[in-house]
Amino acid sequence: MTTQALVTCLEELIGLHESLWQLARDKTDVLVRNQVDELNRLVNKETQSIRKIAEWESKRKEAVADFLKQKGFRPDPAITMTELSKLVSDREEKRRLQELQGALQDIAARIQATNERNKRLIEHSLEFVELSLDLLTAPEADEMVYQDPRSSQQSGKRVVRFDTKA
């Protein structure tokens, strides 16, 4: 039996992961420009891509199970591509599977790196927002200097410029 069904699934998964990587790179640009509406649109597209990847991943598992059955093995959902390629006798098919495995690992690493960069951008943005809120809700400059608590009429009172509970 050939591995054509598995190759087709892997090629499709690589294409979907490539588009997911492009969305992640687009998100980086949108995060830098602070375009929230565009970010929401990209997140929706990303969700759709992830659904398609899940569908093709299911098809890939079916193709692996069929391949294992035809080779006389019990289907094992935990089998790796390396283990699977050892069961392929045709050199060209084995080479193609290993090539696709490498491509899929490469694109997954690129997605992970881009998502990590986006995560850091979001964290920095949140830190900036927190700093801005702290500046808006900071006590008056007079309150930062020590005063005799007995002479202060406003002891315990704090002037709030921004309602943080809203």
Assigned domain for 144 exists: no
Q: Which CATH number fits the domain that encloses residue 90?
A: 1.20.58.300
What pLDDT is attached to residue 46?
A: 96
User: How many Å is the maximal CA-CA distance in the chain?
Assistant: 92
Identity of the amino acid at 56: W
> What span, in angstroms and rounded, lies between the C-alpha atoms of 13 and 9?
6
Express each pLDDT in 132-152 by its tens digit. 888 888 766 555 566 666 765
Q: Are 79 and 64 in contact (CB under 8 A)?
A: yes
- Per the structure, the complete domain to which residue 43 belongs is given by 4-137
Instruction: Using the predicted structure, report yes or no on whether residue 158 has a pLDDT greater than 90.
Output: no
Counted domains in the chain = 1
Express each pLDDT in 26-60 by its tens digit. 999 999 998 999 999 999 999 999 999 999 999 99
Assigned domain for 160 exists: no
What pLDDT is attached to residue 59?
A: 95
